Amino acid sequence: MSDGINDKIHDDLISHDIAIRRVTGDCQRRVEKRLDRLASDLKQLAAKIDPFGTDRTDARERRINRLDAESKKIIDEAYREIGKENQSDLIRVVRIEEEATVQALEKAL
């Protein structure tokens, strides 16, 4: 009888593992998408700050400092968004884990 219970728990855990892998893949795709947007935003920012370029050292230093400050703002915002999304996903995973554990044990018994 215990082999049957173990098999049921094993099967449920395999199904559950597949569901968690789907959530993980979804999270990864969203983070990658956000990082791609971040790279694009930074390229646009660089083009806006220095559309023509110049050889003057003082102007170049001002542009670099401005680019640095603006880049930090964009990066900070991206990480805030990623953090919020990941926190939400982690809460979802905890709830899924809780339900899956209880259901696996209930089905097996």
Q: Where are the domains of the chain?
A: 2-108
Q: Among residues 36, 43, 40, 31, which one has the least CA distance to residue 89?
A: 31
Query: What is the C-alpha R_g of the chain?
Result: 24
pLDDT in tens, the chain (109 residues): 456 888 888 888 888 888 888 888 888 888 888 888 888 888 787 777 666 655 567 777 787 788 888 888 888 888 888 888 888 888 888 888 888 888 877 877 7
Name the pTM for this structure: 0.53
